Amino acid sequence: MVATPRHTMGDRMPRKEDGRFIRGKGRYVDDIRLPGMLHSAILRSPFAHAKINNVDASAALELEGVHAVITGADLAAQGLAWMPTLAGDTQAVLATDKVRFQGQEVAFVVADDHYIAQDALELIEVDYEPLDPIVDSRRALDEDAPVIRDDKEGQADNLIFFWDAGDREATERAFQEAEVTVRQEMFYPRSHPAPMETCGCVADYDISTGEMTVYMTSQAPHAHRTLFAIVSGLPEHQIRIISPDIGGGFGNKVPIYPGYVCAAVASLILGRPVKWMETRAENLMSTSFARDYRMTGEIAATRDGRILGVRSKILADHGAFNAHAQPGEQYPTGFFPIFTSCYDVPAAYAEATGVYSNKAPGGIAYRCSFRVTEAIYLMERMMDVLADELEMDPAELRRKNFVKKEQMPYVSVMGWEYDGGDYHAALDEALRIAGYEQLLEEQRRAREEGRIMGIGVSTFTEIVGAGPGKKCHIAGIEMFDSAELRLHPTGKAILKLGVKSQGQGHETTFAQIVAGELGIPAENVEVREGDTDNTPFGLGTYASRSTPVCGAATAIVARKVREKAKKIAAHMLEAAEGDLEWTGERFQVKGSPDRGVNMEEISFAAYTNVPEGEEAGLEGVTYYDPPEMTYPFGAYICVVEIDKGTGQIEVKRFIAVDDCGVRINPMVVEGQIHGGLASGIGIALMEVMDFDEEGNHLNSSFMDYLTLTSMEAPKYELGETVTPSTHHPLGARGVAESPTVGSPAAVVNAVVDALSPYGVRHVDMPLSPNRIWSLLRENGVGA
């Protein structure tokens, strides 16, 4: 007989959830079919900015198989035409007065199937009066700029916010006194998470019970239920959000979108389940984008490369409605203030201006924690600009300025308290894997041969795992997370979580945490998520917060359960609690290893033989509010070669050393890093949302919104260092987003390094062949 595998914390355990996916038995929103279910389609604006004079749906309503056409006017009559955003703004559910971006929702058709629904869209007549659009954020605050949000009382321009942080005067002094200052403007262009599964839902209102069940592509089902209750006025306890299997999220499935609201309204009106699934074009055009930051970075330093001060200025384009994903109104730039990163910077100052434009609303953190990606990109580009100015090796410059491990726990000048880190060790490991000296030699040879080769370094710290609740909230709800654990009489456990995997492997890794704490095999722990009726309230999975917050909750709830188990064990062993010790597998009487009971035996006793004064059962629930965020960090090296003739870039090597503290499942961690690197490299090379002057979307399909294929993805060379988090109960940090945060700068730095002999100091993403070709030719490189 083959022994049943027993996996626990730290093992490379193949994933428990794989079984259904490799058989085609995953259950995604579009797989849900309910009796009597209707389908839908959304009519969207062809214009970026236009007044709506009239919407005539009469012909569509006459089409056989059409059940309803809902317009903005219909919703307005119910007070539902507008909904709140995550940033405290309002967003049109269906346009009433104006359309404010191309792809904005105008009408919602419900029909027997989605073929008929799409046919009906062509029969709806909308009388638009086109208006001047604002497409370039640099024009948004011009005197003569049209006011996009004229629906908002007192809004006389396109300004959303002005924000600043840090010590302006001290930073100014640093710049005045510095031997060297550098400055670089850069644009982090708009991109899109584009998960393989688009957004959608099935809303099912049961008129007999008053219950609304919504199957939804949601990264945060509990938060969404609360928001749904607020938007719809339905009582929260009668709303049930079920997030079934989610085909990737990357931040895209954090916000509430108009389609969800429309489907719910349609189900209320028609008394039947209504499904709404975006097309890919709709996903790219209307759901939340990421980035779109125009930034200026400045560093003041000594001639020998000590940083004295850092300054940044941002122009943030949030689109037509401020649907920015942020952990509270105090963070209009998210965690951008982490921008001093892993460096010991004595003075820093950041300011940002947020504006409206006639583009889709957002932005969300595409595979990153609230604008960290922009912050790290700025800092890592600036480090290379400074290295170039000082004619210093970029790795050496970084090493010189790292926060030292002896300084931990370090409080940055911007006020963040880092939970440990050894940045020197991570960089050294990356340089070792890369064979940095040989690489430099190879580059010298390549240059002699007339080949264009570049080496890019990027070192960084992330900031993930929001809360703490006193600092971070979503719509006022503090960002804790939750775990509920119950052991059944035979020692098998069910763990229910407030987060929701979209591929991160929670069903495996969270089982491993319980296994590690209770000495039972991870195979015996089932993990449940994504159903608001059957899991404890939590804030969801995004910004790499599952392991830092919910992972901690899981460890703590398991320890609570173990405490009760100890009482039962003492009773079973007829010993005093104080005489028992936990071996990692079982409780035994100190000094008598033959007298012990394991968790299976204790579980049975919990239902059959509890000590007097104890309740039956073996379970617990924990709501965990982290004392601080976690700060995973890394050191990346990218090697590129550029075709002088065509401008094409080949990523020859990519070395990534990540430190996410203790790894619960190294295999899953590595998988997360691979994926994050592919996103980051894709963003650097090709992923971009572009618009023409009229605000027409130029990348609304996978033909033009280019993501990496297997042909461009390099073979990743991973390394690790392990510096446990000082406050996480397992010493773990989040990791899935570090690689997306750290890698774009490594790629751009490599390309700039390649072109530096020709005088190039910066190039904006995406590094399209055309753009590189232009740089080559402008700088006199022929082929």
Query: Which of positions 262-321 make contact with another protein (CB under 8 A)?
Result: 279-281
Give, rounded to a whole angstrom, the gap between the first and last alpha carbons of the chain. Answer: 66
Distance CA 263, CA 619 (A): 38
Which residue in 452, 677, 752, 767 binds another protein (CB under 8 A)? 677
Here the tokens at position 183 are: 């400055």
Question: Could you say which of 114, 272, 424, 496 contacts another protein (CB under 8 A)?
Answer: 114
Judged by CB under 8 A, does residue 3 bind another protein? no
450 binds another protein (CB under 8 A): no
- For residue 437, count CB atoms less than 10 angstroms from its CB and return exposed for 0-12, middle for 13-18, buried for 19 or more: exposed
Report which secondary-structure segment, H or E, holds 72.
helix 72-77
Considering only the stretches 231-239, 419-427, 471-479, 639-647, report the one whose residues sit in contact with another protein under the rule CB under 8 A: 639-647
Residue pair 99/46 in contact by the 8 Å Cβ criterion: no
Residue 494 and residue 534: Cα distance in Å, rounded?
Answer: 11
Binding marks (x or -) toward another protein, 460..479, rule CB under 8 A? Answer: --------------------
> Which span sits near another protein by CB under 8 A: 473-481, 575-583, 712-720, 748-756?
712-720
Q: What are phi and psi of 400, to 5 degrees?
A: -65, -25
Task: Using CB under 8 A, pick the residue from 233, 774, 778, 779 that binds another protein.
Answer: 774
Interface residue with another protein among 196, 207, 616, 722 (CB under 8 A) is 196
Within residues 644-663, the interface with another protein by CB under 8 A covers 645-648
Distance CA 264, CA 329 (A): 28
Per rule CB under 8 A, is residue 783 in the interface with another protein? yes
Asked if 701 is part of the footprint of another protein (rule: CB under 8 A), the reply reads yes
Q: Is 16 exposed, middle or buried (0-12, 13-18, 19+ CB in 10 A)?
A: buried
Q: Is 693 a catalytic residue?
A: no
Let me know the angle formed at the C-alpha of 674 by 222 and 425, rounded to the nearest 5 degrees. Answer: 105
Total of chain residues touching another protein, rule CB under 8 A: 81
Which residues within the stretch 714-733 sit at the binding site for another protein (CB under 8 A)? Answer: 715-716
d(CA 589, CA 575): 7
698 binds another protein (CB under 8 A): yes
Calpha distance 365→371 (Å, rounded): 6
433 binds another protein (CB under 8 A): no
Question: Which one, 585 or 690, has the nearer CB to another protein?
Answer: 690
- Interacting span for another protein (CB under 8 A) from 116-124, 206-214, 349-357, 750-758: 116-124
Among 50, 246, 555, 781, binds another protein (CB under 8 A): 246
Q: Which residues 495-514 are close enough to bind another protein by CB under 8 A?
A: 502-505
Exactly one of 1, 2, 3, 22 binds another protein (CB under 8 A); that residue is 22
**Based on CB atoms, which residue is closest to another protein, 120 or 160?**
120
Q: Which of residues 332-351 bind another protein (CB under 8 A)?
A: none
Going from the C-alpha of 723 to that of each of 416, 631, 775, the distances in angstroms are: 18, 10, 41
As beta bridge partners, residue 125 has 56
Catalytic residue among 262, 342, 368, 550: 368
Binding of another protein by 779 (CB under 8 A)? no
Q: From residue 206, give the alpha-carbon distance in Å to each of 201, 235, 527, 735.
A: 16, 14, 28, 41
| Residue 512 annotated in active site | no
Burial of 62 (0-12, 13-18, 19+ CB in 10 A): exposed
User: Is residue 696 near another protein by the rule CB under 8 A?
Assistant: no
Q: Strand 98-99 vs strand 50-56: parallel, antiparallel, or unpaired?
A: antiparallel
- From the CB of 27, what's the least distance to another protein, in Å? 8
**Which of 231, 431, 514, 678 contacts another protein by CB under 8 A?**
678
33 binds another protein (CB under 8 A): yes
On whether the CB atoms of residues 599 and 583 are closer than 8 A, the answer is: no
- 342 is annotated as an active-site residue: no
Could you say which of 667, 756, 763, 764 contacts another protein (CB under 8 A)? 667
Give me the catalytic one of 272, 367, 398, 562. Answer: 367
- Binders of another protein among residues 369 to 408 (CB under 8 A) are none
Residue list 540-599, contact with another protein (CB under 8 A): none
Q: By CB under 8 A, is residue 537 in contact with another protein?
A: no
Q: Residue 341 — left, alpha, or beta (φ > 0 → left; ψ -120 to 50 → alpha)?
A: left
Of 102, 104, 184, 219, which residue is the catalytic one?
219
CB 654 within 8 A of CB 681: yes
Pair 641, 452: CB distance under 8 Å: yes
Nearest CB to another protein, comparing residues 373 and 699: 699
Provide the minimum distance between the beta carbon of 13 and another protein in the complex, in angstroms, as a whole number: 10
Q: Name which of 403 and 708 has its Cβ closer to another protein.
A: 708
CB of 605 to another protein, least distance (A): 36
With binding defined as CB under 8 A, does residue 707 bind another protein?
Answer: yes
Question: For another protein, which stretch binds (CB under 8 A), given 27-35, 70-78, 93-101, 547-555?
Answer: 27-35
Helices (H), 640-737: 666-685
Which of 5, 20, 237, 563 touches another protein by CB under 8 A? 20
Asked about 149 being catalytic, the answer comes back as no
Return the structure tokens found at 300.
């003041």
Q: Encoding tokens for residue 709?
A: 């294929």
DSSP letters, 446-485, are HHHTT-EEEEEEEEEE--BS---TTT-EETTEE--EEEEE
Q: Kindly state whether residue 122 participates in binding another protein, applying the rule CB under 8 A.
A: yes
Q: Is residue 429 involved in binding another protein (CB under 8 A)?
A: no
Residue whose CB is less far from another protein, 319 or 680: 680
CA 488 from chain center: how many Å?
35
Strand 633-642 to strand 493-497: parallel, antiparallel, or no bridges (unpaired)?
unpaired
Least CB distance from residue 253 to another protein, whole Å?
11
Per-residue contact flags (x/-) with another protein for residues 175 to 194, judged by CB under 8 A: ------------------xx
Dmax over Cα atoms in the chain, in whole Å? Answer: 87
Q: How far apart are CA 386 and CA 395, in angstroms?
A: 12
**CA atoms lying within 13 Å on the CB side of residue 407:** 17
Alpha-carbon gap, residue 352 to 295, rounded angstroms:
9
Q: Which is nearer to another protein, 248 or 435 (CB)?
A: 248
How many of the other CB atoms lie within 10 Å of CB of 32?
17
76, 446, 575, 706: residue in contact with another protein (rule CB under 8 A): 706
Nearest CB to another protein, comparing residues 113 and 304: 113
Residues in the chain: 783
Q: How far is the CB of 194 from another protein (least distance, A)?
A: 7
| Alpha helix stretches (DSSP H) within 392-468 | 394-401, 423-434, 436-448
Q: Provide, rounded to whole angstroms, the least separation between the CB of residue 37 and another protein.
A: 11
Pairing of strands 348-355, 307-317: parallel
Shortest distance in whole angstroms from residue 118 CB to another protein: 6
Q: Which of 557, 556, 580 is nearest to 567 (CA)?
A: 580
From candidates 8, 71, 171, 679, binder to another protein by CB under 8 A: 679
Q: Which residues are catalytic?
A: 219, 367-368, 737
